[in-house]
């Protein structure tokens, strides 16, 4: 079982960040367009993405538009636009669309492959029981998510998750000191609760002899 110090957990140093980061949030998110969108540095782009996702959610959840129907309509519209554009390119004095611009780049495929490998490695690490707190936290989160899925539709859940992802980082950056203060208090309370669970439950679980 892990060993904890009695004083350091209850009274963290003032310079420590309870959420575990010392760099600015913009640097942690990659300092690119993705970070600009999440932190609303480019307000027009962030607002446009939010409106677009809201429109998609409205079509599926409120208007009850079926995914296959919408996908077919979008492909049909794209094919008609490309057909008109290709055949009237000389008339409208525009270059016809380049087929290579619609292909997924090799760098994008490698990036996607690395992310999938990282996700699978993380799932294996958590499931192997190397970190008891992380394992119990993942089990509790998945269980709560499964219960929530019985009462909330998938589109509502995905839309809520997207809104949280796009708004919470910006709100945290604006109210960082207040959030860190509350997170520090919650973290210390959770550690005390885990210590009690560790000493009263986990320490009493019988274990076999270690293999040399």
Nearest-angstrom CA–CA distance, 102 and 96 = 13
Q: Return the SS3 of 151.
A: coil
In a domain, residue 156? The reply is: yes
Q: Does residue 46 lie in a domain region?
A: yes
Query: What value does the mean pLDDT take over residues 106-130?
Result: 83
pLDDT at residue 118, as a whole number: 87
**Residue 19 counted as domain residue:** no
- Name the residue range of residue 170's domain: 25-65+104-204
Domains in the chain, number: 1
For residue 139, tell me if it sits in a domain. Answer: yes
Which single residue is written with the structure tokens 């998938």?
154
The CA distance from 81 to 67, in Å, is: 21
pTM of the prediction? 0.55
pLDDT at 54: 93
Nearest to 173, CA basis, from 46, 14, 19: 19
Q: What is the mean pLDDT of the chain?
A: 77
Give 32's Cβ-side CA count (13 Å radius).
2
Residue 90 lies in a domain: no
For the stretch 58-77, pLDDT in tens is 988 888 888 888 889 889 99
Model confidence pLDDT, tens digit, residues 24-40: 766 677 677 777 788 88
- Residue 148 falls inside a structural domain: yes
Q: Can you give the pLDDT at residue 97?
A: 67
- In the chain the first and final C-alpha atoms are separated, in Å, by 19
Domain assignment of residue 95, yes or no:
no
pLDDT (mean) for 178-187: 80
Confidence of residue 136 (pLDDT cuts 50, 70, 90): confident
Largest Cα–Cα separation, the chain: 82
Question: Which pLDDT score is estimated for 6?
Answer: 42
Answer whether residue 8 is part of any domain.
no
> For residue 51, what pLDDT band results from cuts at 50, 70 and 90?
very high
């Amino acid at each position: 079982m892990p060993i904890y110090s009695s004083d350091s957990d209850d009274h963290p140093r003032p310079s420590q960040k309870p959420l575990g980061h010392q760099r600015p949030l913009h640097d942690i998110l990659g300092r690119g367009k993705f970070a600009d969108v999440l932190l609303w540095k480019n307000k027009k782009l962030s607002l446009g993405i939010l409106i677009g996702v809201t429109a998609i959610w409205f079509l599926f959840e409120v208007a009850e538009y079926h995914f296959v129907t919408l996908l077919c309509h979008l492909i049909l519209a794209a094919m008609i636009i490309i057909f008109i554009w290709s055949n009237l390119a000389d008339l409208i004095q525009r270059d016809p669309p380049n087929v290579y611009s619609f292909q997924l780049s090799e760098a994008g495929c490698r990036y996607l492959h690395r992310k999938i490998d990282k996700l699978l490695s993380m799932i294996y690490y958590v499931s192997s029981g190397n970190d008891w707190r992380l394992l119990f936290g993942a089990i509790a989160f998945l269980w709560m998510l499964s219960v929530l899925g019985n009462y909330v539709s998938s589109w509502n859940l995905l839309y809520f998750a997207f809104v949280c992802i796009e708004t919470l980082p910006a709100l945290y950056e604006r109210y960082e000191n207040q959030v860190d203060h509350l997170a520090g208090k919650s973290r210390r309370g959770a550690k005390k609760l885990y210590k009690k669970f560790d000493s009263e439950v986990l320490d009493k679980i019988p274990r076999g002899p270690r293999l040399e």
